[in-house]
Amino acid sequence: MSLISVSIVNVALSSIQQELGASSSALQWVLTGYALAFGVLLVASGRAGDVFGRRKLFIAGIAVFAGASLLCGLAPNTTVLNIGRVIQGLGSGMLNPQAVGMIQEYFQGRERAKAFGLFGWAPRSAPP
- The pLDDT of 86-101, averaged and rounded, is 94
Reported as a single tens digit per residue, the pLDDT across 46-86 is 999 999 999 999 999 999 999 999 999 999 999 999 999 99
| Number of domains the chain is built from | 1
| pLDDT over threshold 90, residue 121 | no
CATH code for the domain of 71? 1.20.1250.20
- Full-model pTM: 0.85
CB 98 within 8 A of CB 58: yes
Quote the mean pLDDT of the chain: 90
- Domain limits for position 31: 4-125
- Rounded Cα gap, residues 29 and 12, in angstroms: 14
pLDDT of residue 125: 43
